Structure 1
Amino acid sequence: MRFRTRLTTLASVILAATTAGAFAQEAPKPAARPGIDSPELSKLGTYPVGVADVEFVQPGQADLRVDAPNASRIDRRVPLKIWYPAATTGHGISYRTALSGETGVDVPFEVPGIATAGSTAAKGRFPLVVLAHGYGNTPEVLSWLGENLASKGYVVVTPAFRDPPISLRTAAARAGPIARRPLDIAFVTGEAQRRARAGEGIFASADAARTALIGYSMGGYGVLTAAGAPLNPALADMTRGVLAPYAAGGPKAAELKVTGLKAVVALSPANRFGDAPIWSGDGLAAITTPTLYIVGGQDHVVGYPAVRALFDQESNAQRYLLTFKEAGHSIGLIGAPPAMRHSFWDLDWFEDAVWRKDRLLPIETHFITAFLDRYVKDDMAKGAYLDGLVVDSDTGTWPGAPAGRYTGYSPGAPAATVWKGFQPSRATGMLFEAKPAQ
């Protein structure tokens, strides 16, 4: 009897250890698929998602690689990952990519996705979104947003800018990204619009007249510039003269401004390089396109007060500011894959010190969806998710809400001041502000 009891106990221990190991080794889930405590509009849309890889080539561009002469010219090759509404459901893809490690050597990893490579595009014409990553990032780490928006009826074009390793903290290494972000965004957007109008390939399903720009960090600088903010001529010296003709007052300044633009989203946007402000003249006041800013209240990379200043300065456009209290700069990327959890440098690309990533990303998706649907698709009903919200989410109330762990979404005003679309216990730790155009 005692022997049998010992066997039973041993079996229980083995089972418990095996179960714990299975949970510990559980494969990461696609970040485009929100969790059960996510706000309403973060849910996937009704379309299956396809993904395609395309390359654009822009001839005769200055070669700003560290080891290249200033005067050399090359054909600038820009790989693109395109997420789009598909006609049929398939098997989710596993993306393979890499980010620069602390020594400058790339660290490879995989990202699970929901898209199917090469799927037939759904019938119809869908708004065009150009999604620009940050310094040293890749399109795959923005799959959480690209795939989610594609499921909701957007064609999302995400360039791979191929920056030098971020560990090269030199002026020469930074010259390329500073110069190329606005140039590449303007070129990629214009070329995607041209192919959309011509009905070419996967771009035939995109509507060039309904274009939105989204950028994170360095990409945020790029999309605000492409929306019309005039560049500071001081950036010419930082870019070996490449941006001189495109700066305020330059002969090519107008070439950076994207046409057909309906909305701009800037996540943790870069706003100055060293002591030099990025924009001059009217600055952000030159932008007339509705803009959504998203930033962490403890972002010490671009500076929270500086992003708030951009929000205030953009006086000629309807704009919104979503602040995650206590969050830092890493709000724009997926959660850290297993291969990026072995050193602080690798982990710090992805993870915030305070916020869970599976909370941050769905909240961002919720507001980006409401914003794009409202201003790109003209879905006026989505304005209820943006306008008239109490500024501090912590102060929201919902009289008569069911008690306990209620999972329903707040109906918003006038029944509740808990932010519309949020579960009552989950609208905490944030600020949301809106200002109209003058």
Structure 2
Amino acid sequence: MMLRALAALAPAALAMSGIALVLPASAQQAPAIPGVDAPELARLGTHPVGVADVEFVQPGQADPLSEGATPAIVDRHLPIKVWYPAATPGPGTTYRAALPGENGADVAFTVPGIATPGARAAAGKFPLVILAHGYSNVPEALSWLGENLASKGYVVVAPAFRDPAISNRTPAAAAGPLARRPLDIVFAAAEAQRRARAGQGVFAAADPARTVLIGYSMGGYGVLTAAGAPLDSKLAAATRGVLAPYVTGGAKAGDMRVADLKAVVAIAPPGNLRGTALWASPGVAAIRTPTLFIVGSQDHVVGYDPGVRTLFADEVHAPRYLLTFREAAHSIALIGAPPEMRKTFWDEDWFEDSVWRKDRLLAVQAHFITAFLDRTVKGDAAKGAYLDGLVPNSDDGVWADAPSGRYAGYSPGAPASTIWKGFQPSRAKGMSLEYRPGS
């Protein structure tokens, strides 16, 4: 199935990924493969991709979801999916996962992938990325980003947090992800860094001194916390005491940080959960790591302004970008709905936006995340041209000498064009990109 899924891959992307296949075009395409109208940096990188499944175990953890007067102390088991640059091309894979349906029961689905399970890792040391999914979600729904970044020379570690069903709206259920998301992210980063330093398995390819955090929705809350935003004291009660030692002023508040952090990407992160503030003063102003915020202007789950735009404005001590998809809502970071998830509105609404094509949303995000990480983490100064000096409103770009007609070439950027660099002339529409330097 994975081999067939590569049939629709653009020739340029095939060349970049080292894959050459001639297969039926009717099969579902792997979400990591950008479409023909994707911006320039969305294309796959030069590395084939491998994938491995491992488990991290953190002993002696308070379980906010356990029964009883106080949370039980248990070993916390985290299934981990690792995408990494591989030494040689392989046949790809089919991911199998499930998301809770409207009644809470799991609905199973499959996702085609370009990664090959167990492939030998490429030689070299690559930045380490921790990729955190949203409430009640799964890593496989972010495979588009994990695989895409791995092809470009990143080791991507994606924990499965095993949240309660999102349809369970009780405070007790919310206590689980609220408590465990930042704790799990900090632990997963430290454990991946430890294994990298020890040269264990696929982690030997990771450079722990260049660590990146990427989080979507609840994962965005987690990565901003792990980057330094201090937890509000109210979260102690909201998490049955699990976060009490870690809130501002707590004995372990200083432990809620990821070491060697070089960049943060927060996609649709909440600033509060069901009315509960997440961070104490100074909030995200405590973060000093370069940050890319991504959001839809009609995100009514976490809010836009006030909301993610507020977080962007408040993170005053870090250089940061805000990429806005005008009229998009909250479901901007997951793959397009698999066939199995198109039978009910609830299932499809996990994945699809009402205005934007999903493959378009993912391609634009891949483009900007690549530019941001390559420049910030790898020191590739040339990628700055894809981020800096752009007209804030993509609709305002002009390319006077652009070839007429249905032209597929990319804008060269300034000074020849103010159309966003790397975008086709007719495709830089409906977005804004803003930048603020840190103080």
Q: Shorter-chain TM-score category? A: over 0.9
How far has the Cα of 1:274 moved from its partner? 2.4
Give the 3 Å change call, closer, same or farther, for CA 28–68 of structure 1 in structure 2: farther
Structure 1 residue ranges without an equivalent (≥5):
1-24
CA distance in 2, matches of 1:276, 1:287: 20
CA RMSD of aligned residues (A): 1.0
Give the 3 Å change call, closer, same or farther, for CA 248–363 of structure 1 in structure 2: same
Aligned to 1:379: 380
Report the secondary structure of 2:435's partner residue: strand
Structure 2 residue ranges without an equivalent (≥5):
1-24
Aligned to 1:139: 139
Report the secondary structure of 1:245's partner residue: coil
For each residue in 1:294-315, what CA deviation from the matched residue of structure 2 results, as whole angstroms up to 9, or x when unmatched? 0001000000111000000000
Aligned to 1:211: 211
CA distance in 1, matches of 2:171, 2:66: 10
Aligned to 1:7: none
For each residue in 1:241-280, what CA deviation from the matched residue of structure 2 results, as whole angstroms up to 9, or x when unmatched? 1111101111111111111000000000011022222111
CA distance in 1, matches of 2:332, 2:437: 26
Contact 1:317 1:437 in 2 (8 A): yes
Runs of 4+ in 1 over 4 A off after TM superposition: none
2:334 is aligned with what amino acid?
Answer: L
Aligned to 2:418: 417
Contact 1:66 1:172 in 2 (8 A): no
For each residue in 1:83-102, what CA deviation from the matched residue of structure 2 results, as whole angstroms up to 9, or x when unmatched? 00000101010000000000
Q: Does 1:297 align with 2:297?
A: yes
Aligned to 1:393: 394
Report the secondary structure of 1:360's partner residue: helix
Aligned to 2:64: 64
CA distance in 1, matches of 2:163, 2:132: 12
Contact 1:286 1:314 in 2 (8 A): yes
Aligned to 1:162: 162
Aligned to 2:232: 232
What TM-score does the superposition give when structure 2 sets the normalisation length?
0.93
CA distance in 2, matches of 1:55, 1:32: 24
How far has the Cα of 1:200 moved from its partner? 1.1
Report the secondary structure of 2:245's partner residue: helix
Q: Does 1:189 align with 2:189?
A: yes
Give the 3 Å change call, closer, same or farther, for CA 71–143 of structure 1 in structure 2: closer
CA distance in 2, matches of 1:275, 1:357: 29
CA distance in 2, matches of 1:329, 1:387: 26
CA distance in 1, matches of 2:29, 2:271: 33
> Number of aligned pairs?
414
* 1:67-82 equivalent positions in 2, closer than 5 A: 67=67, 70-82=70-82
Contact 2:66 2:72 in 1 (8 A): no
Contact 2:399 2:419 in 1 (8 A): yes
Contact 2:71 2:242 in 1 (8 A): no
Aligned to 1:108: 108
Contact 1:32 1:147 in 2 (8 A): yes
CA distance in 1, matches of 2:174, 2:149: 31
1:170 is aligned with what amino acid?
Answer: T
CA distance in 1, matches of 2:275, 2:334: 27
* Percentage of matched positions with identical amino acids: 68
Report the secondary structure of 1:304's partner residue: coil
How far has the Cα of 1:69 moved from its partner? 5.0
Instruction: Say which is worse superposed, 97-106 or 68-77, in terms of deviation.
Output: 68-77
Report the secondary structure of 1:110's partner residue: strand
Aligned to 2:361: 360
Give the 3 Å change call, closer, same or farther, for CA 82–224 of structure 1 in structure 2: same
